[in-house]
Amino acid sequence: MGCVILGVIALVALAGAIVTALVGALLDTLLGPTAFRPGTAQVVLVMTALLVVLAAVVAQRGIRRFSRPMDNLIEAAGRIEKGDYSAQIPESGPPELTSVARAFNSMSARLKASDEQRRSFLADVAHELRTPLSVIRGQAEAIADGVYPGDPDHVMPILDATRALEVLVEDLRTLVLTEAGSLVLNREHVEPGALVQDVLASFETQGEAFGVSLASAIDATTPMVDVDPARFRSALANVVSNAIRHTPAGGSIRVEVHPAGTQVGIAVQDTGEGISADILPRVFQRFVKGPGSTGSGLGLAITHDIITAHGGTIDIESTVGKGTTVSITLPPATT
Mean pLDDT of 181-200: 91
CATH number for the domain spanning 281: value is 3.30.565.10
Among 65, 114, 131, 124, CA closest to 93:
65
Mean pLDDT of 236-256: 94
Q: Which segment of 1-15, 206-220, 269-283, 307-321 scores lowest on mean pLDDT?
A: 1-15
Mean pLDDT of 201-229: 94
- Give the DSSP letter of residue 53: H
Among the three residues 62, 84, 106, which one is the final residue of a domain in this structure? 84
CA-to-CA distance for 40 and 47, rounded, in angstroms? 11
What is the residue-averaged pLDDT of the chain?
80
The boundaries of the domain holding residue 292 are 188-330
Within this chain, do residues 171 and 233 fall inside the same structural domain, yes or no? no
pTM: 0.63
CB 226 within 8 A of CB 309: no
Within this chain, do residues 193 and 325 fall inside the same structural domain, yes or no? yes
Q: Quick check: is 93 in a domain?
A: no
